[in-house]
Homo-oligomer: A and B are copies of this chain.
Amino acid sequence: LIRVCGPIIQCQLLETALLNILNFQSLIATKAARVCIAAENDAVIEFGLRRAQGVDGGLSAARAAFIGGCAGTSNLQAGQQYEIPVSGTQAHSWIMFFEKESEAFQIYAKALPNNCVFLVDTYDSINGLRRAIKVAKQLQKDGHEIIGVRLDSGDRASLSIETRRMLDKAGFPNAKIVCSGDLDEFTIAEMKRRGAKIDIWGVGTRLTTGQPDAALGGVYKLGAVRAPHEQWQYRIKLSGESAKTSCPGLLQVRRFHQLDHRFIADAIYEIDHVVSEPCVIVDLGNETHTEIPARTEYSDLLVPIFRYGELIYRVPGIEASRGYARKQLRRAPPAILRLNKSRAYKVGLERSLHELRSRLIARAREQRD
């Protein structure tokens, strides 16, 4: 929730820009968090620029993915512009440029002896791995260690197990296995379930575009208007679907939490209406009431950012935003973070706001011409 308060024309000018930025970047940060949850403690690198929706779609996706938990991006411009760690490995075209795969590895190793992640699947992953190990041994004699190898196609759960075995046996227990190619939170979770030995995940298209949800449906609604020196008049938009009817008023979000800081539920309330104690939260879908016991700990989430046109908020660096997101995710009920059969987090209207909304719905329906 964001609250914008100001002269109507200025507020209207902000609408599309705010929606565009928030809808898309929230979508990608959420997707990144899901992918990182599936990857457990492994590093996830955002790899999707070539399939992103526009150049700046790729750029802002890299930023949002980092905040959502990714460890880096292959997008160099995002790295430069937002100070996100960049990383990447060899491309297939590097391998294909040479007549033989082993030659491609050797020449790369000569040029960048301390930065070798050999891409082994151009012709056949296991044969490629054998050739990579041969070059890695030569490098080792010269005093360098490979970083690892990358598997980009085929049955990577099985391949990674065999790759780990071969690398260990050849004396490279610290070599990392990078996995990429058509990944998302579900394929990663499935590979984990099958015992895949992957250290780093490169996730592209479905992370950078949010597939299968290419858009988050955030809206920007007028909640109240007032003439100079007068009272606020609340406003509402009706809809056949209850959840699509807008919320009137100047809104704030109260997040209740347990003593161990775990989140319980969020109540949206109107700032000029008294929040009942105990607080009753009304679900917008099924109208059920949830009572939060009196004296439950809470925090109000909205903080002022601009006031009278001045930025009054210390904008955190991207690392701090990422740390904040990680901390908040740790406080969320585990059941809402599950990839399958997840429970919805409890969010609803505080009772006074729900009553205000009901009165306004009735009044709007009775409106005379």
Chain A interface residues (CB < 8 Å from chain B): 8, 12, 15-17, 19-21, 23-24, 49-61, 91-93, 95-97, 99-102, 122-124, 127, 130-131, 134, 153-154, 205-206, 208-217, 220-222, 225, 233, 235-240, 244, 364-365, 367-369
Q: How far is the CA of A222 from the CA of B209 in the complex (A)?
A: 26
Option from B52, B206, B212 in Cβ contact (under 8 Å) with A212: B212
In the assembled complex, how far is the CB of residue A149 from the closest CB belonging to chain B, in whole angstroms?
16
Contact call B53/A222, Cβ cutoff below 8 A: no
Q: How far is the CA of A60 from the CA of B53 in the complex (A)?
A: 9
Option from B58, B153, B213 in Cβ contact (under 8 Å) with A20: B58
In the assembled complex, how far is the CB of residue A203 from the closest CB belonging to chain B, in whole angstroms?
13
Q: How far is the CA of A52 from the CA of B209 in the complex (A)?
A: 10
Closest to A11 in B: B93
Contact call B211/A20, Cβ cutoff below 8 A: no
28 pairs, A vs B, C-beta closer than 8 Å: A15-B91, A20-B51, A20-B58, A21-B55, A23-B50, A24-B51, A24-B57, A51-B217, A53-B57, A53-B60, A53-B61, A54-B58, A92-B221, A92-B222, A93-B220, A97-B225, A97-B235, A100-B367, A100-B368, A123-B238, A123-B365, A205-B215, A206-B214, A208-B215, A209-B209, A211-B213, A211-B214, A214-B214
Residues of B within 8 A of A16 (CB): 49-50
What copy number does this chain have within its complex?
Answer: 2
With A102-B369, A215-B209 as given contacts, are A124 and B238 in contact (CB-CB < 8 Å)?
Answer: yes
Q: How far is the CA of A236 from the CA of B97 in the complex (A)?
A: 10
Closest to A239 in B: B153
Given A53-B57, A153-B239: 8 more A-B contacts, CB < 8 Å: A16-B50, A24-B52, A52-B57, A54-B56, A54-B61, A123-B238, A206-B215, A211-B215
Q: How far is the CA of A133 from the CA of B240 in the complex (A)?
A: 22
Contact call A96/B236, Cβ cutoff below 8 A: yes
Residues of B within 8 A of A15 (CB): 50, 91, 93
With A50-B15, A50-B20, A217-B51 as given contacts, are A96 and B222 in contact (CB-CB < 8 Å)?
Answer: yes
With A20-B49, A61-B54, A134-B369 as given contacts, are A154 and B221 in contact (CB-CB < 8 Å)?
Answer: no
Q: How far is the CA of A235 from the CA of B24 in the complex (A)?
A: 39
The 8 closest A-B pairs by CB, nearest first: A53-B53, A214-B214, A56-B56, A54-B57, A19-B50, A209-B214, A57-B57, A53-B57
With A96-B235, A369-B102 as given contacts, are A53 and B54 in contact (CB-CB < 8 Å)?
Answer: yes
Option from B17, B122, B237 in Cβ contact (under 8 Å) with A237: B122
Most buried by B among A50, A51, A122, A124: A50
Contact call B54/A60, Cβ cutoff below 8 A: yes
Closest to A18 in B: B50
Closest to A17 in B: B55
Q: How far is the CA of A8 from the CA of B107 in the complex (A)?
A: 15
Most buried by B among A17, A206, A238: A238
Residues of B within 8 A of A52 (CB): 20, 24, 53, 57
Contact call B123/A91, Cβ cutoff below 8 A: no
Q: How far is the CA of A236 from the CA of B213 in the complex (A)?
A: 34
With A91-B12, A225-B97, A244-B153 as given contacts, are A20 and B365 in contact (CB-CB < 8 Å)?
Answer: no
